Structure 1
Amino acid sequence: MKLLAFLITTALAIAPAHADDTSPVGLWKNIDDATGKPKALIRITESNGALQGKIEQLFRAPGEDQNPKCDKCDGARKDQPIIGMEILSGLKKDGDEYAGGEILDPNNGKVYKSKLHLTDAGKKLSVRGYIGMPMLGRSQVWVRQD
């Protein structure tokens, strides 16, 4: 009986460390929709019911600037390091997806409307950035890392 109690207690203590497959909160590797290659690791967190995401790591070729700045960004993001930058914000749960937020493309400094939803039993995230209507945009698939 003590062993069973120990196992249950241990399982409950470990459970929060694992990703919740029903939520986008966690660490994601984004895959470039044009090249199919990984671009960055993005940590998605939730605060007051809204999601935000920050870049934790960039996958850059040798010889490229490993800590680039967002020289094409406007406002407070102008010339700030891309690593650590919030690129996803304001997404709120709306049925099976999260919508109503924005996503920044640090390559061109533009901010787009955004929505996302989990796929593949929570192992992948379909992220869409768009102008005006969702059909006027592009999507990326991000892969869960934790």
Structure 2
Amino acid sequence: MRGLFRENAGEAIVGLLVVILAGVFILFAWDRTGGGSHADGYKVTALFPNASGVNVGTDVRVSGLKIGSVTGQKLDPQTFQVAITIALDPAVKLPADSSAAITSEGLLGSTFVALTPGGSETPLKNGDTITDTQGAMDLMALIGQFINKPSAPAGGDQGATGAKP
């Protein structure tokens, strides 16, 4: 048995490294998807007309700083809007009239939910709904409109003959 282990020691070490690497990957994925984060935080719902790019685990930020994450999403059967459940850090007390927008870090950046604090004296509490929202922009539709936009003639409108009046 010892002879077998000596012959395969390199393979055993590689196998151990693969198992350790898999464990690190699982911990990284758990952290990135918001697993267990803000479990003691308060949850609010935001209604969006378009929630493209937002998934469970998407960051929720105020002024660029992560203060929570998306914990669920479903279609509201009455309004046909997407109801996104957000878990927020209990240390952050946002005003009740805060607004939410789905935005990205740039042209190829990741999508996140940006919260803009309002001016109300009463803070958001567990179970509240944010109704002042802005959905995700359809970037491909915007690019398509720009590319397919009809262009005006170079000399202006000169009629069918092209002669100047």
Fold equivalence (TM over 0.5)? no
Give the number of the structure whose alpha-carbon radius of gyration is greater: 2
* TM-score normalised by length of structure 1: 0.34
Higher strand share: 1
* TM-score normalised by length of structure 2: 0.31
